[in-house]
Chain A
Amino acid sequence: MEHLLETIGRNLFAIFGVMALGSAAFMVASRSAVHSVLGFLFTMLCIAGCFLSLEAEFIGMAQILVYAGGIVVLFLFVVMLVEMSKAKEKEVFQLQSRYAIVAVLTVAAAFVGLFRKVIFGSASPDALVLRPELARGLNVAQQNAQAVSRGLFADYLLPFEILSVVLLVALVGAVVLAKKERV
């Protein structure tokens, strides 16, 4: 029993990873768009599980909160509201298949390169840090959330704020586009 539990505990990442891959395959393969969204939701939850098994609890929870709780709800909303009839749906998806193959091959090549480097390359003894002199704050932190907030609000404040300005621009742009006819 003890041995079994230990084995499960050691392989949690693999278990969640396989589940994520399985539900991602379900998402791609399923005919109905709402089923796809369900598969996507489950993939997101499994990825959060992967993060948790790597002791990255903050990013795992952020994964659930942002993706499962926010973004996938919007997907579901769109999929439910844009009710496409079967024939039309097929047409739209078949139009995209050529581009989809190119995109998939590109991404697959990138990932194969990444995996090759991660699995067969030599491991670095230290964590990868862009500016080592700023990493002190991260090493002092006792929790994930502290480390992330140190990184975002102390060491890399300017890039973070610039990102939020970019998001603001996108937000204003969306409002302008949506309200076009009323102006």
Chain B
Amino acid sequence: MPIPTLTQSVVITLIQCLLVVIFVFVVVPLTVFAERKVLGHIQQRLGSTRVASGHIGVTGWMNRGMWKWGRIPILSYWRGIPGLVADVLKLILKEDIIPAKADKFVFFIAPAISMVSAVVVFAAISFVPGTFFTFPTWFPYLGGLPVSGGIADINVGLLWILGVASVGVYGIVLAGWASNSKYPLLGGLRSAAQMVSYEVPLAMSLLAPVVLTGSLNFGDMSARMATGLPAWGLAPQILGFLIYLTCGFAETNRLPFDMPEAENELVAGFHTEYSGMKFGFFYLAEYINMTVVSALAAGFFLGGPWLLPFGLQGLLNPYLPSLLSWFGQPHAIFFVAKIIFLLFTYIWVRGTIPRYRYDQVMSVAWKYLIPMALFNLLLAALVRCFAV
């Protein structure tokens, strides 16, 4: 295997960054689209499941044919696309208003902080252990060089993820302050309190995998969690997964915990005064954060690039017939499938569970989640002490 020069490795890293950005910007619009459609079905809001570009074109012709045939059209899965397109166009084309009394500099930089801290987390996430693909030898300049499955699989990856994600609070708090208006300020303060409190059980629930695997490296941890744990490891994994997912919902300000933008109390919370693409950045950052939380949950608890969740892969691998050995190997596709399933869970929960009151949000974090996370940590330590 050839050793890349410094320039080549920088080029490879840039290619990896490009791949991650493409992944993010494919997943995020699809999540928005899926959110409209799934919520449309759950809450019987018909618009987003019906609107289509009329009965013209090839799809219209095929759909009409299907209806006449007495079947639900295949392409109706894509109904609602015009709504999504219109939304994106609206974000890009709308006038960008800065309130007269706003603090211009902070108002400008807050969406950027949100967005950057959401995207940068992906640096430490490894999608597949080892090599993702190798450039073919005819490829100019990079022929024969391997591209690893993560941008930077550093050995303090978990700390990087937690640290950078915690910088995301600033985006929301500063946006609320800079708008110089009541509702955004209240939304920003609420979100600061909420995110700072939920960071505690979130980090604690991620400590259980650290204790179980004895590593801080994302790739190592997901590999050991998926394949290297005894049967006793199931209990702390499942409990930890539930705690982590709850805290993840709160960290991304999604519906049961969407205090910062509770629309019937605070208009739109911290981004009330934002419009155009600045609002779009907050919107994007929220969905990228959802993807990040899903990726972490998938990587640490659901087995990452291995097929089975909760460490079952390691338990069942010896019994897997050799015919099915493809399922015993790690693949990036499994990882992405789990991320997509968790994103669906986000939408599902949003459609089902009503919003908490503010004091309830705080008591859930401090009175229930933190003790449960501590108990889970104790379980993990016992497993580590006696079974590993």
Contact = CB atoms under 8 A, between A and B. Distances in A.
Interface of A: 1-2, 5-6, 9, 32, 34-35, 38, 41, 45, 57-58, 61-62, 64-65, 68-70, 72-73, 76-77, 80-81, 143-145
Nearest to A65: B163
Interface residues of B, number: 31
B211 to A, nearest CB: 12
Contacts of A32: 103
Given A64-B159, A73-B166, 16 more contacts: A2-B5, A2-B6, A5-B7, A34-B106, A38-B174, A45-B167, A57-B156, A65-B162, A69-B163, A73-B169, A76-B173, A80-B185, A80-B188, A143-B155, A144-B156, A145-B156
A143 B6 CA distance: 23
B103 A34 contact: yes
Interface of B: 5-7, 10, 103, 105-106, 109, 154-156, 159-160, 162-164, 166-167, 169-170, 173-174, 177-178, 185, 188-189, 192, 196, 199, 216
Contacts, number: 81
A5 B6 contact: yes
B159 A58 contact: yes
Contacts of A70: 166, 196
Contact of B196 (A2, A73, A145): A73
16 contacts: A1-B7, A9-B6, A32-B103, A34-B106, A34-B174, A38-B106, A38-B109, A57-B155, A61-B160, A64-B160, A64-B166, A69-B162, A69-B167, A73-B166, A81-B189, A145-B155
B205 to A, nearest CB: 16
A9 B7 CA distance: 12
A41 B109 CA distance: 13
Nearest to A80: B177
A64 B103 contact: no
A61 B173 contact: no
Contacts of B6: 2, 5-6, 9
A2 B170 contact: no
B180 to A, nearest CB: 11
Contacts of B7: 1-2, 5
A77 to B, nearest CB: 6
Given A2-B5, A65-B162, A69-B199, A77 B156 contact: no
A57 B154 contact: yes
B170 A80 contact: no
A94 to B, nearest CB: 23
B170 A76 contact: yes
Contact of B177 (A34, A58, A62, A68): A34
